[in-house]
Amino acid sequence: MPKRKNIVIKTKYKSKSECIEECRDIKNKTIMAMNLNRKISGSMTPDGRFELSSRAKVAAMYEFIGYVEENSDGVFMVGDIQAKKLQKTLILISIVLFSLLGMGFILTFDPVMLFIGVLFMIVPWINFIIMKQSDALYKEIIRKVAK
């Protein structure tokens, strides 16, 4: 099961201010996913609240929202990983549109179009499953900030 709720990550940083400055590679939000680009991006406030994402292909669907806290044990990042609202909307719209298009292809009763129609109906559900089951952002954050 994916790790999404009540995540506590012990960081390699010595202070809260160091974590705020160095836990991300790009200082603004992720706009587009890219191949072979695993940089952490996002916004962070001076009091330690953050919204982090990654530019890696699957991890770009999510944001890690939470805060940084400093204890006697070290510096921790605490929060939840959520799918971005735009990504959810795009996947749900693609499911509806591709299902309608797939039904249109299936209704032609041509064997090739029947096969294409079935594929059109299956592919958006694969994206939906990836969105629900992936741990990609969690792994990227661990790679970047954990000890």
Alpha-carbon distance of 6 to 4, in angstroms, equals 7
Residue 1: pLDDT band by 50, 70, 90 thresholds? very low
Burial of 42 (0-12, 13-18, 19+ CB in 10 A): buried
Question: What would the pLDDT profile of 93-120 be if each residue is shown by its tens digit?
Answer: 999 999 999 999 999 999 999 999 999 9
pLDDT tens readout for residues 28-73: 665 555 666 778 888 888 898 999 888 787 788 889 999 999 998 9
pLDDT of residue 94: 94
Supply the DSSP string of 12-61, one letter for each residue.
Answer: S-SSHHHHHHHS-SBSS---S--TT---EEEEE-TTSEEEEEE-STTGGG
How far is Cα 30 from Cα 28, in angstroms, rounded to an integer? Answer: 7
Domain ranges of the chain: 7-83+135-145, 87-127
List pLDDT tens digits, range 124-146: 999 888 888 888 888 888 888 88
> How many residues are there in the chain?
147
